[in-house]
Amino acid sequence: IEIIGKCTAQNEALAITINDRLDMNCIVSECSQQDAVLHNKIRCDHKLLLFDCIGKSREEIQHAILPLFEIGQKQQYIVMYNLNPDFDYTRESLKHGVSGFLFTNDSLETFIKAIEVVLSGEIWASRKQLADCLNSRKSADAHSPDLTARETDILKILALGYSNEMIAEELCISPHTVKSHISNIFKKIRVHNRRHAVQWAQDNL
């Protein structure tokens, strides 16, 4: 795990906590996002990049997303933290591969849980954020001709951050049936994990 940000006391303490709590090596890279891109300082063998957004404007954050994603060549997960809770970064960030969103008022326990969720291949964002993203993408001619009505329903619920068990409970079907539907959905929309399925849903539902 690599923290992209200044070597502040908070980031150093965060790295130590991640090392201790998750038993994963975590380092702090004190370089700007631009320096990281130009000098290739971000190591591609790190599975998770934590991007410190403290003190950055919305425009600066949006500008930083795409280069970070390209460096990882879609093999790394990206989580933005220290975000301003008054702004919504979810829609554009998800489109560029960001998997998690943590705000300045989030607790350390929330931070650790978010890392675990993202590393499991899921999205860490509030259901309201994801629902707003989906609603903003709806249009009169939006359609998914290759998906059945049931598959579309499952994909919409999956995009809200529900687990297979939660989807099963919501639709009154078995978890095994949900798993089978999700496997078919992934094949039809040509994705390999839930994160990319959410991105597809953002653009097509």
Structure tokens at 187: 């094949």
For the purposes of burial, counting CB atoms within 10 Å of the CB of 21, is it exposed (0-12), middle (13-18) or buried (19 or more)?
middle
Which domains does the chain possess?
2-124 (3.40.50.2300), 132-204 (1.10.10.10)
Task: Name residue, tokens 């070597």.
Answer: 7
Instruction: Give yes or no for residue 58 having a pLDDT over 60.
Output: yes
CA distance 42 to 4: 8
Q: pLDDT band at 165, cuts 50/70/90?
A: very high
Top pLDDT among 174 and 87 is at 174
Q: How many CB atoms lie within 10 A of CB 204?
A: 14
CA distances from 12 to 33, 101, 178 (A): 18, 20, 41
Q: Which two tokens stand for residue 50?
A: 């934590």
Grade residue 31 by pLDDT with cuts at 50, 70 and 90: low
More confident residue, 145 or 152: 152
Cα distance between residue 124 and residue 117, in whole Å: 7
Give the model's pLDDT for residue 176.
94
pLDDT of 65 strictly over 70: no
CA distance to 5, 145, 205, per residue, from 141 (Å): 42, 11, 10
Q: Does the global pTM surpass 0.75? A: no
Integer-rounded Cα Rg, in Å, for the chain is 18
Task: Look at residue 140 and tell me whether its pLDDT is greater than 50.
Answer: no
Report the C-alpha gap between 28 and 86 in whole angstroms: 27
For residues 38-57, give the mean pLDDT.
Answer: 69
Say what the pLDDT of residue 186 is: 92
Q: What are phi and psi of 144, to 5 degrees?
A: -130, 80
Task: Give me 196's structure tokens.
Answer: 């990319």
- Supply the pLDDT for residue 38: 39
Q: For the chain, first and last CA: distance in Å?
A: 33
Q: Which among 108, 90, 11 has a CA at the least distance from the CA of 1?
A: 11
pLDDT in tens, 94-120: 766 788 899 999 999 999 999 999 998
